[in-house]
A = this chain, B = another copy of it.
Amino acid sequence: MGKRTLLSFSPQIKVVDATLRDGGLVNSFYFEDEFVKKLYQTNIQAGVDYMEFGYKASSAIFDKSKFGKWKFCEEKDLREIVGNNDSDLKIAVMADVGRTDIDKDIIPKNESVIDMVRVASYINTIPSAIEMVENCAKKGYETTVNIMAISHANESDLHEALELIGNSSANGVYLVDSYGSLYPEQIRKLADRYLDMGAKYNKFVGIHAHNNQQLAFANTIECVVSGVNYLDATVSSLGRGAGNCPLELLIGFLKNPKYKLHPILKFIEEEILKLKKSGVVWGYDIPYLITGVLDRHPSGAIDCIKNNRTDYANIYLELMGLE
């Protein structure tokens, strides 16, 4: 595929709003129904292509009393928000390898408002991810494999994983920069490897970026230029740790006139400011820069933020393992 230019737009591009799913990692999925309903309407008005509502987590593994309903995404809860979803917005959920009871919790597509199941996996569990994909594909769903923590994968493992996915029923594969450690130059190189596989096996490629180094938006649009078509974003970056590619920046960038910025700005002023005021904390901050630079899981930074630590120089030494 030829490189895209700024004045072109491609109808193959799909914007995936992951606000509830990645944001749910910040507030244990306790979103008010009002928030979720408004976000659903906002996404429809803004021309967003997919809305990911949360996880399909197994209630045998996770205690339902300790999480909001969007960790489980039961059919009745989805329908409470979207009815039969008479809209162009497709509904996605995420299923983690090892944390989902796929036989019990994923019903046949013709009984569900869900359109797409995204299977999240580390690179060493790709065979299990593919088993889940085949199960969901057989039930009638669109599917993806989202390979997490890609900055820690070695090249030969990645090659093998992409070949396995290429030969599976998955519709697409996602490049996931879980640690927000990758620079645009690295993202371009990785995207090219994914895109080569995608061209060979007719799979789309997606990008899911984190904002530890204020690069989530930049890395996402660099992927667009390369030919990546599925773009994850969240309103105001709402997501774990430093958060994600801000949906409002992505929609402002995309040239397809079907995308509208105004409804998203309205949602931010009406709902996101309220959420922030209520004490939910996320987004770029110095501890996330540190784990990003060091290419580490953000958990250490999340602990620092929770404990209101601002001794950044010490945090840096600690996370480097020098103290």
16 pairs across A/B with beta carbons < 8 Å? A6-B185, A183-B253, A184-B221, A185-B225, A214-B216, A214-B217, A215-B217, A218-B218, A246-B289, A248-B286, A265-B290, A265-B312, A265-B313, A265-B315, A269-B310, A269-B313
- Contacts A214-B214, A262-B316, A265-B315 known; 15 new A-B pairs at CB < 8 A: A5-B185, A6-B183, A183-B253, A184-B184, A211-B214, A214-B217, A214-B246, A218-B219, A252-B289, A253-B293, A261-B293, A265-B286, A265-B316, A266-B313, A269-B310
Type the 1/0 row for A290-312, where 1 means its CB is closer than 8 Å to any CB of B. Answer: 10110000000000000000111
CA–CA, A248 and B310, complex, Å:
15
Q: How far is the CA of A265 from the CA of B290 in the complex (A)?
A: 10
Question: B residues within 8 A CB of A290?
Answer: 265
Say which residue of B185, B293, B312 sits within 8 Å of A252 (CB atoms): B293
Kindly list chain B residues whose C-beta atoms are within 8 Å of the C-beta of A263: 313
A218 neighbours in B (Cβ, 8 Å): 184, 214-215, 217-219
Q: Which of A6, A184, A263, A313 has the most CB of B within 10 A?
A: A313
Q: How far is the CB of A306 from chain B (nearest CB, A)?
A: 17
A281 within 8 A of B: no
- When distances are taken between beta carbons in the complex, the residues of chain B under 8 Å from A221 are 183-185
What number of A residues sit within 8 Å (CB to CB) of B?
42
Residue of B nearest to A287 (CB): B265
The answer, among B184, B252, B317, for a CB contact under 8 Å with A213, is B252
Please name all residues of chain B whose beta carbon is closer than 8 Å to the beta carbon of A289 when the two chains form the complex. Answer: 246, 248-249, 252
Q: Which B-chain residue is minimally distant from A237 (CB atoms)?
A: B214
Given contacts A183-B253, A184-B221, A252-B293, contact A269 B214 (CB under 8 A): no
When all copies of this chain in the complex are counted, the total is 2
Is the C-beta of A186 less than 8 angstroms from some C-beta in chain B? yes
A273 within 8 A of B: yes
Chain A 259-280 interface mask (CB, 8 Å, partner B; 1/0) = 0011101101100010000000
Complex CA–CA separation, A253 to B312 (angstroms): 17
Contacts of A115 in B (CB 8 A): none
Q: Which residues of B contact A222 (CB under 8 A)?
A: 184
Give CA–CA (A288, B289) in the complex, Å: 22
Taking a contact as CB atoms under 8 Å apart, the answer to whether A262 and B313 are in contact is yes
Chain B residues contacting A262 (CB-CB under 8 Å) are 313, 316-317
- Please give me the residue from chain B that is nearest to A269 by CB atom: B312
The one of B185, B186, B213 in contact with A249, judged by C-beta atoms closer than 8 angstroms, is B213
Contacts of A215 in B (CB 8 A): 217-218
Chain B residue with Cβ nearest A268: B312
Kindly state the separation between the CA atoms of A312 and B87 in the bound complex, as whole angstroms.
26
**Interchain CA distance A217-B310 in the complex, whole Å:** 22
A312 — which chain B residues lie within 8 A by C-beta?
265-266, 268-269
Nearest CB of B to A6, in Å: 6
